[in-house]
Structure formats: structure tokens, C-alpha cells
Amino acid sequence: RSRFLPVKKTSDLLLVMSNLYTLDHGSLMMSPKRMFPSTPLVKLGENNFKNVSAFLSRFGSIPDLLELDHITVSGDVTFGRGVSLRGTVIIIANHGDRIDIPAGAILENKIVSGNLRILDH
């Protein structure tokens, strides 16, 4: 998979844009900082992450995925800058609710559900 990484869905795009990969002479290589040779399982909700512009609008910056095993995101979820995702992370915003993951947050083996808004004052 180092020579050619197909990007068919935004979940693939998240992996390719993350710090999991480095560009080496035109080839994407798995970061040597990743402890596991496999890529994380990424499931992004179809409604809010389906197209590239909607996907990009949900990230202040692409999260740190070096220690991620699995992420599932569903519903109206946004990520602040400098977020780190580790282990298994499940984030589910129910219909009509919104979850904002704050800048600098570290989520390790967490389930986040319901409604979480953090507003600047």
C-alpha cells in the first residue's frame, strides 16, 4: 500500500492527510513513528462527511492519528486544531445535536455522545 493509496471516500482522505503518512520521493510512506504496521479503521458519517468541502469544514486541522486504532464519527461533529485521537474513539452526535471537540483535546479510548458545544466568550 505504500506505492498507491486509493482515496475513494473522505475516510481515506483523512488517513492520507494525517500524520500517519509522509511523502518520500513522491511515494506515501507509513510514518516510522506509528507503532503498528496497519492503518486505523475510519468510519465517517455519510451525511456530514460525504463530500470533500463538508469534510474539510469540520476540521480546524487534521487530528493526530499516530496512535489511533479505530474511529467512528456520526452526526454533526467538528474538530478543533491540534486534536489527538488514540486507541478506539467513537463520537456520535444524535439528530439535532452537535459535538465540538475542543482544540488540543486528547481522546483516548473514549465514547462521546449527545451534545457538546464549547463557545468562546
CA-wise closest residue to 67 among 27, 33, 93: 33
Sign of CA dihedral 6, 28, 106, 98: negative
8 is catalytic: yes
List 8, 9, 33, 50, catalytic entry: 8
Q: How many helices (H) does the chain have, and how many strands (E)?
A: 3, 8
Give phi and psi for 13, each to the nearest 5.
Answer: -65, -40
CB 97 within 8 A of CB 72: no
Q: Could you list the active site residues?
A: 8
